[in-house]
Chains A and B, each alone.
Chain A
Amino acid sequence: MITAIFGGFNANTRNDKEVPTNVDMLEFDDTDITSQEDTTADSEVQIGDLDVSLNHSKVDDEPFLNLDDQGSNNNNNETYSILNMCEMSIDDLNEIDVINGRKIEEPFNLLDASKLESNIMPASSDHYAHSYDRYGFRKASKYITEEEYDKWWSNYSYSCSKNKNKWERFMSNNGLPVINDTPKKFPAKNDKLKKLVRKGVPAEWRGDAWWAFVNGDDLLNKNKNLYMKLLRVVSQLDEFKNRNDKNADHKYLPELDVIERDLNRTFPNNLHFQREPFQISDPPMIKSLRNVLVAFAIYCPSIGYCQSLNFIAGLLLLFLDEERTFWMLVIITSTFLPGVHNFDLEGVNVNQGVLMLCVKEFLPEIWPFIEKNYNHDKKKPLHLRRTNEFLHKLPSIVLCTTNWLMSCFVGTFPIETTLRVWDCLFYEGSNFLFKISMSILKLNECHFMKNNDNGRTIYHFSIRKSNVNEVNRSNGTMPIEEMEAEILQSLQTSPKKYLDPDVLFDKTIMKRRMAFNKLDQDTIDTLRKYVTSQRLKYKKYSKLFGLNYDTKQNSSSKNDIYSDPSVLPKETINEMALEEIDEFKTKLDGDFPDKDVKIGLNNKQRMHSLP
């Protein structure tokens, strides 16, 4: 049977309903809706105050999660801050519904991903079903063969089941029931739990565990039925679309087209997202993905839809129902990656700036390769050399690191590794994203060091100036651009080979001597604020001197104020203004303690990070 092929992974533990046997039954009918509402009621597991965003470990004398007052205390007027961003109030949503006076499909509970397998996969598919993993992803990729996967999996699946035993013992030691292979509650944060999470949450429990770690019920209970209401708007949009009422589309959601185009470009290699030739309508997973993305775009107009959310939502849908996926998306975009998916994507730059500061602090052995030509320009006055100018004009390495954070490593690694990262991300907070980013950089260290016999190449890495090339040629070292290309290439492709999450974790995250493992959430939060304000100031300062920030940033190194203010055209700026810039820059640097950014490590600790 096909279900057997999918190994132990069965998200359909909550519903004991019969598995539909033909495609027609996938259509939602009233019975489905009722049973699904029951499910929702069942799943009101109260999880207490797990503070994911700040990574504060909870006191041990609180082994169970209290039924927190927050959950039951809210009244309907209380809205989550993001809701305030939403132009449409709940009343508006109701109104639309009343005006139309029509019955609207309730959300389809896709918790039962596995239930659908038999429908998604054609009967003839048995012969190739072994090519797919337990989540429906194709095992083989450009970088891993199916044989390699199977060989690894035979060991890994064994350690997964051993690991699950540990989880079960842990749960039962804490007096927490696991009924039908579904945990109802997770303990409050503690070291033992953290250790278990780092070893991986059992795949069958993942949805519930993530949901508990991010305290999803708090948000859901505050906003009961909101998702249903949003879905009504979604189906309205559909109706407008079917009527070919283009204006209506645009009035509500300018990015509906982009979502539509991305639906079939989300995990095209996953069985659940594929449409088989005999299927007339979209597979249920695609329908759910559309619902979640459109509902999110309506709910959060400051983001709308941003490419990369499709992958995050898509992966969530394999483990959670639509409604919880929606709220997870809200939590991820507000708590874990604030501003990253907004229209201007400024959060991307901020987070990349934070990553660069982290690398500078925790991977000092790699930093010189990454950094632009700011610190070693001997023409520059000394007080300007220790600046963090790279925060404004980010080093070229961010070309690679940007999508790591934007998509939370979906697509960066093979799927099991991505999922392990997600386990820790939701448990430990967004600092984990930075730790993993630094892990990849660390593991690619050799590519940075290559062809560097005399240190000069480090010194001039990524400087695109002719004199430097001449230096390199005379030294016989690798030309800079080629080296840069090689590093970028390996940063992009090598993570796709990290099939085994244990290997990645053992080499980096689990190593005490990796300095970046000291990084905590408070530091990340502080750094985010710092980088945000620095970038803002720099923008203002560019305007102050009549420079078009964007234009200057885009131009090549000619007259580049970012690397050297002295090359500014004389007619734009006189000597007095130059002094002012210097002063201003010094002031900027002074804004952060100790002139240079410190992340709370003394030199002795820093030494440990050296190989």
Chain B
Amino acid sequence: MLQFKLVLLGDSSVGKSSIVHRFVKDSFDEFRESTIGAAFLSQSIKLDEDDTVIKFEIWDTAGQERYKSLAPMYYRNANAALVVYDITASDSLSKAQSWVEELKNKVADDKLVICLVGNKLDLCQEDSGKRSVEISDAKQYADEQGLLFFEVSAKTGEKVNDVFKSIGESLYSYKKEELLSKSEQNGTNTHGQVDLQLQKPATSDPTSCCT
């Protein structure tokens, strides 16, 4: 089993906690309490490739602007970041973009996997007039920045699992690369402290989900 730390970032009430709860508990509440500071959850998934089990340690953070000053604490040593915006609120995309920028500037690990996620897809399916961020714009930005990209609905669950699966696959491929290059170097390791530690014995039940 491989274990990775994932952090959720994004403006307030874009649905960060709802996405996590859909992923971890497969449930949705119309009104979810605002997250103060951060909340910790974990969930495992199985990748098609090699039957690899990936365990995510998820840090769900508070979205209000001022909590940005605490964010470094949460994304320290993160392997992946889910940057969420609300597709019915264009402001939230620019907030997401500033998060991406911050991550790129401040996280030393160049293998950090960043996934841009537009949430509340269900609202636009009900009424296309509600959309205020075009999928093409967001996609273009994600491509330019080399991010994974999805539009999801935490409410219906659409594509939520795909997000985590695709993050897992990216992390796994980095991991394989790294192990390969390591064996080529005959075990000499100078960098990659963050990544090396990920190789762990499978001590936990992969299907377990912590609450």
Q: Smallest distance from the beta carbon of A394 to chain B beta carbons, Å?
A: 7
Those of A165-207 within 8 Å (CB) of chain B? none
Q: Which residues of B contact A406 (CB under 8 A)?
A: 36-37
Q: A258-B64, A554-B72 are known contacts. Are A493 and B211 too (CB-CB below 8 A)?
A: yes
Instruction: Decide yes or no whether A481 CB sits under 8 A from chain B.
Output: yes
Q: Which of A302-310, A420-428, A429-437, A603-611 contacts B (4 or more CB under 8 A)?
A: A302-310
Bound-state Cα–Cα, A364 to B197, Å = 28
Determine if A306 and B34 form an interchain contact, defined as CB atoms under 8 angstroms apart. no
Q: A399-B74, A466-B193 are known contacts. Are A308 and B36 too (CB-CB below 8 A)?
A: yes
Q: Total contacts A to B, CB within 8 angstroms?
A: 132
Determine if B108 and A345 form an interchain contact, defined as CB atoms under 8 angstroms apart. no
State which of A143, A310, A464 has its C-beta within 8 Å of the C-beta of B34. Answer: A310
Q: Smallest distance from the beta carbon of B42 to chain A beta carbons, Å?
A: 7
State which of A264, A265, A479 has its C-beta within 8 Å of the C-beta of B200. Answer: A479
Give the number of residues in A that approach B within 8 Å (Cβ atoms).
53
Q: Which of B25-33, B129-137, B142-150, B151-159 contacts A (4 or more CB under 8 A)?
A: B25-33
Determine if A403 and B38 form an interchain contact, defined as CB atoms under 8 angstroms apart. yes
Determine if B193 and A398 form an interchain contact, defined as CB atoms under 8 angstroms apart. no
Instruction: Decide yes or no whether B186 CB sits under 8 A from chain A.
Output: no
Q: Which residues of B contact A311 (CB under 8 A)?
A: 33-34, 36
Instruction: Decide yes or no whether A478 CB sits under 8 A from chain B.
Output: yes
State which of B12, B33, B203 has its C-beta within 8 Å of the C-beta of A258. Answer: B12
Q: Smallest distance from the beta carbon of B155 to chain A beta carbons, Å?
A: 15
Bound-state Cα–Cα, A403 to B210, Å = 20
Determine if A399 and B193 form an interchain contact, defined as CB atoms under 8 angstroms apart. no
State which of A343, A479, A485, A555 has its C-beta within 8 Å of the C-beta of B106. Answer: A555
Q: For B62, give the chain A residue with the smallest CB separation.
A: A307
Instruction: Decide yes or no whether B180 CB sits under 8 A from chain A.
Output: no
Q: A399-B40, A466-B193 are known contacts. Are A307 and B211 too (CB-CB below 8 A)?
A: no
Instruction: Decide yes or no whether B185 CB sits under 8 A from chain A.
Output: no
Instruction: Decide yes or no whether B124 CB sits under 8 A from chain A.
Output: no
Residue picked from B31, B39, B211, most chain A C-beta under 10 Å: B31
State which of A261, A348, A400 has its C-beta within 8 Å of the C-beta of B70. Answer: A348
Which residues of A pack against B, CB within 8 Å? 142-143, 258, 261-262, 264-268, 306-308, 310-311, 343-346, 348, 394, 396, 398-400, 402-403, 406-407, 411, 464-466, 469, 473, 478-482, 485, 488-489, 492-493, 550-551, 553-558
Can you list 14 residue pairs at the A/B interface with Cβ under 8 Å?
A258-B12, A261-B13, A266-B33, A307-B67, A398-B73, A402-B38, A403-B37, A478-B203, A485-B40, A492-B40, A550-B72, A556-B109, A556-B193, A557-B193
| With A411-B36, A556-B194, A557-B193 already in contact, 12 other A-B pairs whose C-beta atoms are closer than 8 Å | A265-B34, A267-B33, A306-B64, A307-B12, A307-B67, A311-B36, A464-B193, A464-B194, A466-B196, A482-B200, A489-B40, A558-B193
